[in-house]
Chains A and B, each alone.
Chain A
Amino acid sequence: AQTVTQSQPEMSVQEAETVTLSCTYDTSESDYYLFWYKQPPSRQMILVIRQEAYKQQNATENRFSVNFQKAAKSFSLKISDSQLGDAAMYFCAYIAAYSGGGADGLTFGKGTHLIIQP
């Protein structure tokens, strides 16, 4: 079974600085997707960024970028120019690509609580 591990329960960063959140995963699949979701106090899970495993190029969305190391099964999130609104729980997640038998849903890590210091 696949597992997703986030080793940093909490991270703190000064506003306007850069922070990197770590994520490792374990899977025997070769085709899959990786995600970072943000969960603010409103509780809604918001997709931050998505990476297809077959793409070598790291995904980027404005101030958010990932460092995807497929061989190492590592998928870290870098937030540049941190803003107060970035404060939230961040979850790393994995899903196998659809194979016709149906996916097993997202597998989530335990989350990293990101604190932004003004």
Chain B
Amino acid sequence: KAGVTQTPRYLIKTRGQQVTLSCSPISGHRSVSWYQQTPGQGLQFLFEYFSETQRNKGNFPGRFSGRQFSNSRSEMNVSTLELGDSALYLCASSVGVGDEKLFFGSGTQLSVL
């Protein structure tokens, strides 16, 4: 069974631009959550999607958004990029909401110049 796939692996953008990251969950998994990892703040929860609906959202500004498609694939979008948005963005999938067994992808490393 294929694992969680995140694309692209690396991304370089400039301030003010927007970016879209993609996550394909494990087959059969319907919940996708996103995390931001930075050296200063560590790992922080962004949001969780289930059945195309956002179930929970962490403490991030509205520039961070996401969506989930009917095939459970998810995208997250960051608009008006700031230098502080440089981070590793990790996606995790699970069977459903409330399922605490998360399987992570290898992340997308975003650099904002």
Interface residue ranges, A against B (CB under 8 Å) = 33, 35, 37, 42-47, 50, 91, 93, 95, 97-98, 102-111
Contacts and interface: CB of A to CB of B under 8 A. Distances in A.
Interface in B93-113: 97-107, 109
**Prevailing SS type, chain B contact patch:** strand
B33 A105 contact: yes
**Prevailing SS type, chain A contact patch:** loop
A45 B90 contact: yes
B48 A105 contact: yes
Contacts of B43: 91, 93, 106, 108
B56 A33 contact: no
B98 A50 contact: no
Interface of B: 33, 35, 42-48, 55-56, 58, 88, 90, 92, 97-107, 109
A110 to B, nearest CB: 5
B106 A105 contact: no
A98 B98 contact: yes
Given A43-B88, A105-B33, A105-B48, A33 B100 contact: yes
Contact of A105 (B42, B45, B99, B109): B45
B100 A50 contact: yes
B58 A105 contact: yes
A111 B41 CA distance: 11
B106 A103 contact: no
Given A105-B58, A106-B35, A97 B45 contact: no
A33 B46 CA distance: 19
A103 B90 contact: no
Given A43-B90, A45-B104, A107-B45, 19 more contacts: A37-B104, A43-B107, A45-B92, A46-B104, A47-B101, A91-B43, A97-B100, A98-B98, A102-B97, A104-B45, A105-B45, A105-B48, A105-B56, A105-B58, A106-B35, A106-B43, A108-B42, A108-B43, A108-B44
B108 to A, nearest CB: 10
A45 B3 CA distance: 12
Contacts of A111: 42
